[in-house]
Amino acid sequence: MTNTTYRWIIVAAGGLLGCVAMGSMFSLPVMLLPMAKATGWSVTGVSAAMTVGFLAMAVGSMAWGSLSDRIGPRRVVLIGTVVLAVALAIASRTTSLLAFQVVFGIGVGGAASAIFAPMMACVTGWFDTHRSLAVSLVSAGMGMAPLTMSPLAAWLITHHDWRVTMEIVAAVAATLMIPVAFLVRRPPALGGEGAGEAAPETAGDAPAMTAGQALRSPQFLILVATNFFCCATHSGPIIHTVSYALTCGIPMVAAVSIYSVEGLAGMGGRVAFGWLGDRFGAKRVLVVGLLAQALGALGYIAAGDLGGFYAAAVLFGFIYSGVMPLYSVIARENFPLKMMGMVIGGTAMAGSLGMATGPIVGGMIYDAVGSYRWLYIGSCLMGLGAFAIAMTFRPFPKADPEPALA
């Protein structure tokens, strides 16, 4: 099989791995209120497990990404898959809130970070032409989680308690992810998978720089700051939309369908923004998308019935999902392939820290005032911050491009 053909298998594998990994982690928002009622734990306390998870993703993203630069993405993804399944199974057996927060947060969040950064870095190395579209398709696969894993968790939680539901999710993750992980290969420019071998220098890998220079560069720091504020913008709405809908009197299955509609719109957004990124430039499309995301967050304030939630979810999901893959594309356009895992892991770390703000802040707002409306106003302000920071990004001077895969 030629590299031109196999690179699309890498895209498909990355999409499926990301879908199941992120879907497993994001099954918690679906179970949030049932868990709180069954255990007596507060909504803030259960939500805090997601905050711990995002913090673990932040720490893990750069570590796993850098490790994948050294030993290849396949081994990293396999390790992450096993840890993810085991952590879910153990979390389902915990009997205290603290134990659940630690096991679910650190175990599941840390394992999920072993999928995202290594796979995004891997895919950017397999593509020269159509890079934005390829990365967006991987992200679209991840965006399938609200259409697949979330409805599965919602169906399970209506027929079983949360412990059994989490155990089944763990079994599904292991069954689907382990075989697919063996399809992952290192980009040809880095010598194939070659687990354990050092990533070689490539003639067209420019501009040349050390890891320290990359991490200290204004380009990297701006990408990091932008991704933090961007993810802080949509974190709260993602985590608390189902609970917000429940407080508005919408039944559980219908409330979860809002999440699914948001995910479906997000798939379209990823493909559309990927196509636009290839046509007009990833940085330009990102800036416009960040402004639209900030304004789109306000749509949930007007939502009160199912139709209003659907409309807000379509708009917001399309935009925030569309902008996210563009960070990896901009990273690949500005940094050497040999350090993609580290650079994308660094931006993912910032994004995870941004995502960590939503669960705990949203829970605190709801516990304090009994309403989520102020959450969406805060999200809009964070989004405007992301837009302002992204406007300052200036790419490195262009060098000779790498040859495209035949």
Question: Is residue 403 included in any domain, yes or no?
Answer: no
Task: State the pLDDT at residue 176.
Answer: 94
Distance CA 25, CA 238 (A): 12
Q: Residue 88's domain is classified under what CATH number? A: 1.20.1250.20
- Characterize 226-245 residue by residue with b for buried, 16 or more Cβ atoms within 10 angstroms of its Cβ, and e for exposed: bbbbbbbbbbbbbbbbbbbb
Q: Is 313 helix (H, G, I), strand (E, B) or coil?
A: helix
Task: State the pLDDT at residue 192.
Answer: 54
Distance CA 192, CA 190 (A): 6
Q: How many domains does the chain have?
A: 1
Task: State the pLDDT at residue 292.
Answer: 95
For the beta carbon of residue 402, count every other beta carbon within 10 angstroms: 17
Question: Is residue 264 included in any domain, yes or no?
Answer: yes
Question: Is residue 359 included in any domain, yes or no?
Answer: yes
Task: State the pLDDT at residue 404.
Answer: 44
Q: Outline where 335-402 has alpha helix (H).
A: 340-369, 373-390
Question: With 0-12 CB in 10 A as exposed, 13-18 as middle and 19+ as buried, what is 327?
Answer: buried
Distance CA 88, CA 79 (A): 14
Chain length of the chain: 406
Rg (CA), the chain: 20
Distance CA 355, CA 349 (A): 10
Domain with 176 in it: 3-187+210-390
Question: Is residue 196 included in any domain, yes or no?
Answer: no
Structure tokens at 19: 């879908």
What DSSP letter does each residue of 19-54 carry, written as one string?
A: HHHHHHHTHHHHHHHHHHHHH---HHHHHHHHHHHH
Structure tokens at 135: 């990365």
All residues at 6 or more sequence positions from 213 whose CB lies less than 8 Å from its CB, including other chains: none
Task: State the pLDDT at residue 127.
Answer: 84
- List the chain pLDDT tens, one digit each, 406 residues: 667 788 889 999 999 999 999 889 888 888 888 888 888 888 888 888 988 888 888 888 888 988 988 888 999 999 999 999 999 999 999 999 999 999 999 999 999 989 988 898 888 888 877 788 888 888 777 777 767 887 888 889 888 889 999 999 999 999 999 999 999 988 887 665 543 444 444 433 444 678 888 889 999 999 999 999 999 999 888 888 888 888 888 887 788 788 778 878 888 888 899 889 888 988 999 999 999 999 999 988 888 788 889 999 999 999 998 898 899 889 888 888 888 888 988 888 888 788 878 877 887 887 777 778 888 988 999 999 999 999 999 988 765 544 444 4
Question: Is residue 194 included in any domain, yes or no?
Answer: no
Residue with tokens 């893990």: 60
Of the candidates 89, 85, 115, 111, the one whose C-alpha atom is nearest the C-alpha of residue 100 is 89
Question: Is residue 406 included in any domain, yes or no?
Answer: no
Question: Is residue 199 included in any domain, yes or no?
Answer: no
Torsion 302-43-112-257 (CA) sign: negative
**Quick one: which H or E segment has residue 280?**
helix 252-280
CA 72 vs CA 17, 59, 115, 284, 318: distances in Å: 16, 19, 12, 32, 32
Distance CA 109, CA 84 (A): 8
Task: State the pLDDT at residue 401.
Answer: 46
Q: Is 319 helix (H, G, I), strand (E, B) or coil?
A: helix
Task: State the pLDDT at residue 66.
Answer: 87
Task: State the pLDDT at residue 1.
Answer: 61
Question: Is residue 204 included in any domain, yes or no?
Answer: no
Phi-psi region for residue 191, left (φ > 0), alpha (ψ -120 to 50) or beta? left
Amino acid occupying residue 6: Y
